[in-house]
A = this chain, B = another copy of it.
Amino acid sequence: MENKKNSFSEWYNEIIEIAELSDKRYSIKGMNVWLPSGLRMMQSMDSIVRQELDSLEFREVSFPLLISREQLEVEFEHFKGFEDQLFWVTRGGKEPLEVDLALRPTSEVAMYPMFSLWVRTHADLPLKTYQIVNTFRYETKHTRPFIRVREIHFIEAHTAHATFEDAEKELEEYDSVFRKLCGKILVPVMRHRRPDWDKFPGAKYSIAYDAVMPGGRTLQIGTIHQYGDNFARTYNIEYTDENGERQYASQTTYGMSERLLASVIGIHGDDTGLIVPPAIAPVQVVIVAIPPVSQEMSSFVSEIMDVLKSKGYRVKYDDRDNYTPGYKYNDWEMRGIPLRIEIGKREASGRFLTVAYRTGGKMKIDIGDLGAAISGEIRRVEEEIYARAEGFQKNSVKFENDVEGIISFDGVSRAYWCGSKECVDRIEENSNKNCLGTVEDDGSEGPCVVCGKPGRLSSFSRTY
């Protein structure tokens, strides 16, 4: 297949096709078909987030797809931000609709009028909800599976709080959820506070999680927005406080999309194919028997399956008889399955397994030890995947003392920046890099790389 390092874009398209993640031959541009492996991986990520949010007492809801024009236009800044990207339903049956209906580009405007009904007094707060739905953007740019599509699988949390301070604290919960997810999908991320002109329409400020993709472009895979009372004032989300006074709620939101899957594919894969983190692998362990498959081998395979299933692992026995073991090895490696167990005559009679790691290397395990050893083996693959991803990220980020350095480096450039648009323009005019904003987890300060005024550590990269 394509070489990942030299032609990432071609590699990415090829692996999505041959590993059967998505089919982009559907008749509408930027709307692709989720194939079983891609869908299962996404669903596993949904489950991880669902579990984390549930444990934080978020409540899952599901709002309608359509939003009326009247409702959308109430928050003008928000509407303006999406106006060029809305799909509009204008007819029902053969008749024009009385009011045009937009396919949700995001759900603030669908949800918040209901929030104003749900929130009455301080006892109703905090209100913490989330939903997992598809959102729609009429993209005119070049589309790319999981990265820029017109129908987007989306996880969005929305909250309302009594005070701005409570809303600020909520952002820490979001951060913990995101870090737990990234710990499972083994993707290292950077956290940036976006420049003011790049914040979400309607937000007080926006924090984004960016992952570095091969080639050095960054991919925004999650965002957190602090709304304060911006939307609450527009949509009348008010409550009666302890003193009987009416107050506006403060709100936050949190969003993640199928770009998570793009980061998993892009960051972990190699020239052999996908490498799928065990937590989201549709199959975590595949078993291949080397023909001729004796009765003894068959029962040994069953025994192994039973042990692994009883421990809750997703295991598959590839018993296709029209393929050689070599073909099967390649096939499952291409699909990125973390562990492969090879069973030959020797293994069955000796009652041991040969385990091959997708990240390289093999070892032998006694069947008696399998139950105790399996979680360690899985963990070993996870550690290897994460170490590689982290190493790649480290090599892709470089501190620069001058604009020329930012322009000439392919990856993410770090530099001090004063916060002004003019200084960013200087960089953007001379490179195809954007300012990702200030680095959230590093408060260090220094002279702006452009104007020399006091600045904060910031990132610049080409972006998807």
Contacts and interface: CB of A to CB of B under 8 A. Distances in A.
Contact of A83 (B94, B100, B136): B94
Contacts of A23: 114, 117
A305 B15 CA distance: 46
B101 A28 contact: yes
A56 to B, nearest CB: 14
B62 A39 contact: yes
A71 B110 CA distance: 30
A20 to B, nearest CB: 10
A70 to B, nearest CB: 8
Contact of A151 (B59, B66, B88): B66
Copies assembled: 2
Interface stretch (A29-37, A341-349, A403-411, A419-427): A29-37
Nearest to A322: B123
B68 A27 contact: yes
Q: Which of A60, A62, A117, A140 has the most CB of B within 10 A?
A: A62
Contacts of A103: 65, 89
A154 interface: no
A274 B39 CA distance: 34
B89 A94 contact: no
A59 B40 CA distance: 10
A64 B32 contact: yes
A66 B31 contact: yes
Interface in A47-78: 59-66, 68, 70-71
Contacts of A36: 59-61
A203 to B, nearest CB: 22
A23 B64 CA distance: 11
A72 to B, nearest CB: 11
Nearest to A87: B89
Q: Which of A68, A88, A117 has the most CB of B within 10 A?
A: A88
Contact of A39 (B60, B71, B83): B60
A376 interface: no
Contact of A28 (B27, B31, B64): B64
A134 to B, nearest CB: 7
Given A60-B36, A60-B39, A114-B23, A28 B66 contact: yes
Given A27-B68, A28-B64, A93 B138 contact: yes
Contact of A93 (B26, B59, B86): B86
Nearest to A50: B43
A391 interface: no
A93 B101 contact: no
A63 B26 contact: yes
B33 A113 contact: no
Nearest to A30: B64
A92 interface: yes
Nearest to A36: B59
Interface string A97-131: 00011010000001001100100000000000000
A25 interface: yes
A85 interface: yes
29 contacts: A23-B117, A25-B114, A26-B64, A26-B114, A27-B70, A27-B71, A28-B66, A33-B62, A33-B114, A34-B63, A36-B59, A36-B60, A36-B61, A39-B60, A39-B61, A64-B151, A65-B65, A65-B103, A66-B87, A66-B151, A83-B94, A84-B94, A86-B92, A87-B89, A87-B92, A88-B91, A88-B92, A90-B91, A92-B138
Given A33-B62, A66-B151, 7 more contacts: A25-B114, A34-B63, A64-B151, A86-B93, A87-B91, A88-B91, A91-B100
Across the A-B interface, the 7 shortest Cβ-Cβ residue pairs = A92-B138, A31-B64, A34-B62, A88-B91, A84-B93, A36-B59, A90-B90
Interface of A: 23, 25-28, 31-36, 39-40, 59-66, 68, 70-71, 83-94, 100-101, 103, 110, 113-114, 117, 134, 136, 138, 140, 151
